[in-house]
Structure 1
Amino acid sequence: MAEPFLRDYLGADTVAGTELAAWRGRATGMVDARRGVLVGERKAEAVREMVGDGEMPDIGLGGRRSDYAFMSLCKEAYLVPRDPVEAVPADKLPRPVIFHDGRLRLRSLAAPLAVAWFPVGFLLACVRIAVGALLPMPWLRRAFGALGVCVVLRGAAPAPAPMPPSTGGRGGVLFASNHRTLLDAVFLSVALGRPVVTITYSVSRLSELLSPIRTLTDDIVPVATECWMSMFHGTTARGCKAMDPFYFFMNPFPEYTVTFLDKLPAELTCGGSGGKSSHDVANHVQKLIASTLSYECTSLTRRDKYQHWWRNAF
C-alpha cells in the first residue's frame, strides 16, 4: 500500500518493507515469515538484495540504533534527529498530494476567528438543516441561497421520464455521481427540484463486497459534484459521519456545484447494443466525471483498485 505512494509522489525506484502474510489473496494480519519484520540485520539484507553485490547506496538515513546495520552499507550515513524537521515544500514534490482528515481547515492565525464564529455557525447550521427538512424540494434552492448556501447548477438536468407499465413501475434515470460529502444526494435533489431515491454503499464491510450496485435501468446520467468550504470541513474518515452535514452547514458561505453531463449512449450501457459489463460502464462514468473536474483518473473502480493492490502486494 505504501509502494505506489512512494513511487508516484516521492519518485522512489525500489521499495522494500515488512510484508503481511496472505492466504488465498487475503491478508491474514500476520507478518510474512519468509523475511519477518525489516529491522536491524534483516533491513540490511533487504538493502543488499535491492542494490546487488559489490554496489553501495550513496546515502543512508536512519533514526535509531537498529538502523546502523544497513547504514554501514552506504557510502554516506546520516542519523535523523528526533527534533522536528521542516517539511518538504509542496512545489518540490514530483506530484501534488494532500493529506487531510479533520473538521477544521484553518491556519493558525484564523483559529480565533473560528472560535468566535462557532456559536453563530451552530445556530445557522440548525436553521439551514431545519429549512432543508421542512420546506418543499422546489423551494430549497432559493431558500438555501437566502441563508448563504450557494447551489450552482451546470448542464441540463433531465426531466423525469415516465416508466413503462411493462417494467412494473421500475426504471427511470440513474444519476451516477462522485462523492464529496454526505450531502451529495441532497444537493442533487435541490438541483433537480424534486426528491430522488438514493443508493449508497461503503456503509459496511459487506457492502464493499457487493459493489458496484446493480440497477434497473440503462438511462445513466453522470453527475459531477464539487463543494467549497471555508472554515469547517464537512467530511471525515474517522469521526462520526452523521456530523458531516452539520459541519458543512456551519461554514459562513458554503457552496455546492452540481454539473449534469450528457446521458450515456445505449452502446455504452449494459443493456444496449454494446453489451458492456457493469465495471466497464462504471469505469467510463468515472472517466467522464474525472475529466469534468480536472482530476487524474486511474480508470479503475474501487473494487478494481483493491484487486489490483492485492495482486501486486502479495
Structure 2
Amino acid sequence: MGRREKVFPMVLFSIAAHWLVCCYRAARKTRGYAFLRGNSCGPQQISSLHPSVTKCPSKGGAQTLVCDIQGTLLRSSSFFPFFMLVAFEGGNPLRALLLLLSFPFIWFLGDQHELSLRIMVLITFCGLRTRDMDTVARAVLPKFYLENLNLHSYEVLASTGKRVVITSLPRVMVEGFLRECLGVNDVVGAELQVVGGYYTGFVSRGVSMAVKHTAINELFGNSKPDVGLVSSCNPHDHLLISHCKEIYVSSGTGAVMPREKYPKPLVFHDGRLAFLPTPLATLSLFLWLPLGLTLAIIRALIGILLPYNAAIIAAALTGLHLRFQGLSTIETTTNNKNTRSTEGNKGVLYACNHRTLLDPIMVSTALGKPVTAVTYSLSKMSELIAPVKTVRMTRNRERDADTMRRLLDDGDLIVCPEGTTCREPYLLRFSSLFAEVADDIVPVAVDTKVSMFHGTTATGLKWLDPVFFLMNPWAEYRVEFLERMPSELTCTGGCSGWDVANRIQRRLADALGFGCTTLTRKDKYLMLAGNEGVVKQ
C-alpha cells in the first residue's frame, strides 16, 4: 500500500473522530439545556429588563460599543441566507443544494446554536477556495448586508467612537463589511482551518463564552464598554449584559435602512442571485431552474425567429415585458433630418446607458430594425448568438474612432459610452469618443427589473449573462428615446467631447432618476474582480 493510500484512511478517521467529539459535546449541552435555560435571561426577559435601541441617545465622542452582528446590526436573526450566498456564489449550485437539504436538520436542532453553525460551516466551506470566499465577501455579501441593516442599531453604532463586534460567525464572512462599510475597529469571530488555499470546513477557533470574555478583557482591560447592543431573540448575549455599562435591546423587526442613508453608496456588486436566499426562496429557485432554462431557450428563439412586432407580444406572454417610449419623437425628428447639417450621409448614433448585454437588441427591437452595436471585451459566444451585428473595439482611441466613423457612414449605430454594465441606479462616467465622431446623437435611457437572476457578472462566465436574464420568471425592459441633441450642443456646434458626454449622461440620469458618478469600467472590475475586465482572446 502506497503512502497516499495510507494517509487517506487516517484523514477519514480524523474527521470521524472530530465529529464524534462534537456530537458528544452537543449531547452534554442538550442534557443540561433545561437547567441553563432556567437560569439565564430569555428573549422576553432581556426585552423587559433593558430599554430598546430606539431609546438610546445619540452621543458622540469617545464612547465604546460592543455588539454582535446577527440579530443586532442585521434585522435577520437567521444567518442561513448568508451561508447560502457563499455556497451558491462562491461554490456552485450543488453545494447550495446540499446546504438546503440540511436545513430541516438544522431547524430541528433549534437552540443548539453551536452545532447548527458548525454544520453550516462544514457544508459551505469544505473544499472552498479562499480566493473565492474573498471575492464573495468583497463583491456579493455587502449588498445583502446593507439591505438587511437595522436602521436604529446602525445609528447607535455610528454615534460611538470605538466599535467592537464579537460574533460566533466566521470572521471571513463579516469582517470586510464591518470594517469598510461600518467603520468597526475590531472584529472577533470564528477562525476557519485553511490547507493549501482551501477551507477544510472545520473551525480552528470558535467563539465560546470564554473566548468572548477573554476578547473583551484584552480590548478594554479593566474598563467596561459604554454601550452594549443585544438581540431580543438571542438569549446567548447575556455575557455582554454583565460587561457593559448600558445595555440596549435591538429588535429583529427594526426599521429598514433607506438607500440614501447607506454608510457608503452601493454602486457595484456582483453575483447571480437578485434575492435574499431564505430556505423557502432557495427551494423555489431549485424548482424553477429546469423551467427557467426551458423558458430562456424559448425567449431566445422568439427574439431570433419572429418579426419585431410579433416578438414583443410573444415575449410579454412569457413574462418578459418590453416597454418602449419616445418613438414618436424619433420618427418626427427623422423626417426633418434633412434640415440638419450632415456630412457624408452619416447615420444616427444612439447613445444609451448600459444595463445588460441585451441593450442593443432591445433598442433594435424598439426601432423595428437591426442596428449595428459596438462592444468592448464581449465573449465569442455572445457575438455568435447575437441577432444584431456587433463590432469589437480595440481600446485604441484613433483606431476605434475610425471604425465608428466608417460604421456611421454605412448606417445607424448603438453605443454604450459607460463601457460596462451597472446594476444599481447610477450611471458611470461616459467616454467622450462617441461624441467626437458623431453629430447626430439620440440619447436612449435603458432600465431593467429582474425577479430572480442578475443578467450581468464581473467574476463569472459572461457568455451566460443573457441566459440568466432570460431565465427570470418575470423581467422588464424599459427603453426611452430622448430628444436628439441640438447641433449647437454637439462637437459640430463647438462643444468639447467631454461636455457633450457629460451633458448626455446628465440627461439620461434625470430621465431614469439615477445618480451620476465619475467611476469607470476599470474602477468596477478592480473593485469586484481584481482585474481590468478585459476578455482574453
1:1-314 map, 5 Å = 59=162, 79-83=186-190, 90-91=257-258, 93-94=262-263, 96-97=265-266, 100-107=269-276, 108=278, 109-157=280-328, 158-159=330-331, 170-201=345-376, 203=378, 207=395, 212-214=432-434, 216-272=437-493, 275-298=494-517, 300=518, 302=520
- Using a 3 Å threshold, how does the CA distance of structure 1 residues 258 and 281 change in structure 2: closer, same or farther? same
TM-score by length of 1: 0.63
How far, CA to CA, are the matches of 2:458 and 2:396 in structure 1?
16
How far, CA to CA, are the matches of 2:343 and 2:393 in structure 1?
32
Residue 103 of structure 1 aligns to a residue in which SS? coil
**Once superposed, what is the RMSD of the aligned Cα atoms?**
3.7
- Measure how far apart 1:267 and its partner are: 0.9
* Percent identity for Structure 1 against Structure 2: 41
How far, CA to CA, are the matches of 2:396 and 2:282 in structure 1?
38
How far, CA to CA, are the matches of 1:208 and 1:251 in structure 2?
37
How far, CA to CA, are the matches of 2:349 and 2:393 in structure 1?
24
- Using a 3 Å threshold, how does the CA distance of structure 1 residues 304 and 238 change in structure 2: closer, same or farther? closer
TM-score by length of 2: 0.38
Residue 152 of structure 1 aligns to a residue in which SS? strand
Residue 284 of structure 1 aligns to a residue in which SS? helix
Bigger-Rg structure (1/2): 2
Give 5+ residue unaligned stretches, structure 2. 1-160, 167-183, 192-206, 208-230, 232-255, 379-391, 401-430, 525-537
Higher helix share: 2
Q: Is the 8 A contact 2:374 2:393 kept in 1?
A: no
Further displaced range: 225-234 or 143-152: 143-152
Residue 485 of structure 2 aligns to a residue in which SS? coil
Residue 153 of structure 1 aligns to a residue in which SS? strand
How far, CA to CA, are the matches of 1:82 and 1:251 in structure 2?
36
- Using a 3 Å threshold, how does the CA distance of structure 1 residues 301 and 267 change in structure 2: closer, same or farther? farther
Further displaced range: 98-107 or 216-225: 98-107
Superimposed CA distance per residue, residues 47-80 of structure 1 (whole angstroms, 9 cap, x where no aligned partner): xxxxxxxxxxx648799xxxxxxxxxxxxx9743
Q: Is the 8 A contact 1:138 1:194 kept in 2?
A: no
Count of matched residue pairs: 232
Superimposed CA distance per residue, residues 236-284 of structure 1 (whole angstroms, 9 cap, x where no aligned partner): 1111111111111101121100011111111110112xx1122211111
Q: Is the 8 A contact 1:61 1:78 kept in 2?
A: yes
- Measure how far apart 1:102 and its partner are: 1.1
How far, CA to CA, are the matches of 1:202 and 1:212 in structure 2?
19
How far, CA to CA, are the matches of 1:79 and 1:305 in structure 2?
28
Q: Is the 8 A contact 2:356 2:456 kept in 1?
A: yes
- Measure how far apart 1:303 and its partner are: 8.6
Further displaced range: 136-145 or 203-212: 203-212
Residue 293 of structure 2 aligns to a residue in which SS? helix
How far, CA to CA, are the matches of 1:156 and 1:245 in structure 2?
25
- Measure how far apart 1:147 and its partner are: 2.3
Give 5+ residue unaligned stretches, structure 1. 1-57, 64-76, 307-314
- Output the amino acid matched with 1:147: T
Q: Is the 8 A contact 2:359 2:446 kept in 1?
A: yes
